[in-house]
Amino acid sequence: MVRRKKKSEMEGPEVPVAPMLDMAFQLLTFFVLTYKAAPVEGQFVMNLLPPQPATSTAAAPSEASAANDLPATLRTLPVVLQADDAGRLAQVSIADMEVASDPASLAKELDRHLLDPDAPFDQTLIKIDPNLRYAELMSIIDAFTEAFIRAKKEPKLSFDELKGDGG
């Protein structure tokens, strides 16, 4: 088959592109102006049981109990957070021992409890001063979660209100 096409046959009708481009630019302007990067939010998921006596408040799932014969009180690392009048973190106590609240000291102390193979702790109960600022609490929850992850354990945190008499 011999292909013979004249030049005039190659030229189709001319579609005006300029109005389409105008509209496309308008759409582009709209999307650029209304664009807002979605904030990157994360979350800490917890199963929080209703208020109970402190000995059984820890949010331990039943399968964990089956895996470990020790009672929940012995497997729970007790933590107390106290705040000053401004709501800042004033004192951190882990297993009745006062710990410096800076992240490095806290991480070191948590590792001492959670990485020790002889230590029975697989969950923690944090008693919190009601005056404590939420940001301070989240920094502590963050430190605990990271410590549990370093210890290759599922983070199991629960919290309770610190009463005036210290518990």
**Binding region for another protein (CB under 8 A):** 17-18, 20-21, 24-25, 27-28, 31-32, 34-36, 38-51, 87, 128-135, 137-139, 141-142, 145-146, 149, 159, 161
∠46-137-152 over CA atoms, to 5°?
50
> What's the min distance (Å) between Cβ of 86 and another protein?
10
Q: Which of 31, 66 has the CB closer to another protein? A: 31
Residues in the chain: 167
* Nearer to another protein among residue 85 and residue 118 (C-beta): 85
User: What SS3 class is residue 130?
Assistant: coil
Q: CA 62 to CA 165: how far, in whole Å?
A: 31
Q: Minimum distance from CB of 18 to another protein (Å)?
A: 6
Q: What is the DSSP letter of 51?
A: S
Closest CB 47 distance from another protein, rounded Å: 6
**What are the C-alpha distances in Å from 161 to residues 44, 94, 104, 130?**
19, 16, 26, 6
DSSP 15: P
CB of 59 to another protein, least distance (A): 9
Query: What token pair was written down for 116?
Result: 């020790």
Output 94 or 157, the one with its CB closest to another protein: 157
Give the type of residue at 11: E
Name which of 108 and 133 has its Cβ closer to another protein: 133
Minimum CB separation from another protein for residue 4, in Å?
27
User: Residue 4 or 134: which CB sits closer to another protein?
Assistant: 134
* Pair of tokens at residue 158: 């629960």
